């Protein structure tokens, strides 16, 4: 009999693709705001309610829920929503698991590479480094603390936190936002363009979650980031190369981005590298570990995709 995996954040770009990857080995359920499929179960984070039957015989929870960091300006209300969508949702799961007296085999939580702070530096961060001291690192610290509660309260045998880099996917995320401007000849790097952009291919991030699910030795935090570094400017140029489009526009000035996005601009203008060595030490292998970014982008952006 297949073990049951409950996935939150059903509307996100990772959830459904991940489910396709693991459904051969597991029975997959989703927690979502509005039921659309037979294996969907509804919850309401704001009101602290959920369909408790979603947890019947569940062995693993993969917690992907969380409002999009870069979707809106960071007003006071938006900041609260960014934290609440991650922390309060985990709290609702924890309280319900406790109420139903369930002991999970694993609680696997999304997390962010911004744990280390929004800063451009030559340092390559590892999982042993302390958190940064800006808003995004605060979000991630609270997010991970909510996940750790499952182990501290003996509700899960292990807790895995996936510190996720920028996910490259043709369906959603950064790539989808960058491609149209480059196609229309108005794409350009942001600010200095020298800020690092830790990235990971959508297939690889799904494989990371699959590994976290299947490898019972995995516990704690792992950087989910491609072994290859890139900057904002290099990523922009590589997308243009793959699309066979010229890049002739000047970089978008810092002050313009700050005017448009406010504090959120810092997340676009700064970025550091992070090491993937810890997860590779578990035996995990990145499918899209190429000499450069180009083949990963070709896989996502050309018709004859490499499988």
Cα gap 6→53, rounded to integer Å: 11
**Secondary element (H or E) of residue 238:** helix 232-243
For the cut 60, the answer to whether the pLDDT of residue 86 exceeds it is: yes
For the cut 50, the answer to whether the pLDDT of residue 307 exceeds it is: no
pLDDT given at position 303 = 62
pLDDT tens digits along 169-193? 988 888 988 999 999 888 999 999 9
pLDDT tens digits along 239-274? 999 999 999 889 999 989 888 889 998 888 999 999
pLDDT given at position 289 = 62
Q: Which residues share a beta bridge with 58?
A: 4
| Mean per-residue pLDDT of the chain | 93
For the cut 80, the answer to whether the pLDDT of residue 209 exceeds it is: yes
Q: Which two tokens stand for residue 179?
A: 């491609």
271 CB-side CA count, 13 A: 26
CATH 3.40.50.720 is held by the domain 3-165+200-225 = yes
Count helices and strands (H / E) in the chain.
10, 12
For the cut 60, the answer to whether the pLDDT of residue 305 exceeds it is: no
Total residues found in the chain within this entry: 307
Cα gap 268→232, rounded to integer Å: 9
pLDDT tens digits along 99-151? 999 999 999 999 999 999 999 999 999 999 999 999 999 999 999 999 999 99
Q: Kindly give the pairing relationship between strand 49-50 and strand 40-44.
A: antiparallel
Rounded to an integer, the average pLDDT of 286-292 is 69
């Amino acid at each position: 009999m297949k073990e049951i995996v409950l996935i939150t954040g059903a509307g996100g770009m990772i959830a459904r693709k991940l489910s396709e990857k693991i459904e051969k080995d597991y029975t997959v359920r989703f927690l979502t705001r509005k039921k659309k499929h037979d294996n969907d179960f509804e919850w309401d984070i704001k009101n602290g309610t959920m369909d408790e039957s979603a947890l019947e015989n569940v062995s693993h929870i993969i917690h992907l829920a969380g409002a999009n960091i870069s979707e809106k300006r960071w007003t006071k209300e938006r900041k609260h929503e960014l934290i609440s969508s991650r922390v309060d949702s985990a709290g609702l799961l924890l309280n319900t698991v406790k109420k139903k007296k369930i002991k999970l085999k694993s609680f696997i939580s999304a997390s962010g590479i911004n744990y280390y702070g929004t800063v451009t530096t030559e340092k390559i961060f590892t999982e042993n480094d302390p958190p940064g001291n800006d808003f995004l690192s605060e979000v991630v610290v609270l997010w991970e603390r909510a996940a750790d509660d499952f182990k501290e309260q003996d509700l899960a045998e292990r807790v895995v936190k996936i510190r996720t880099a920028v996910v490259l996917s043709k369906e959603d995320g950064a790539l989808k936002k960058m491609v149209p401007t480059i196609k229309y000849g108005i794409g350009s790097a942001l600010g200095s363009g020298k800020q690092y952009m830790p990235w990971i291919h959508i297939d690889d991030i799904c494989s990371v979650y699959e590994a976290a699910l299947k490898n019972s030795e995995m516990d704690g935090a792992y950087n989910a980031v491609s072994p290859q570094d890139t900057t904002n400017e290099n990523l922009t140029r590589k997308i243009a190369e793959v699309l066979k489009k010229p890049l002739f526009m000047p970089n978008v000035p810092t002050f313009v981005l700050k005017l448009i996005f406010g504090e959120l601009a810092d997340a676009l203008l700064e970025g550091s590298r992070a090491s993937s060595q810890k997860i590779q030490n578990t035996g995990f292998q990145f499918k899209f570990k190429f000499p450069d970014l180009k083949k990963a982008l070709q896989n996502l952006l050309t018709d004859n995709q490499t499988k």
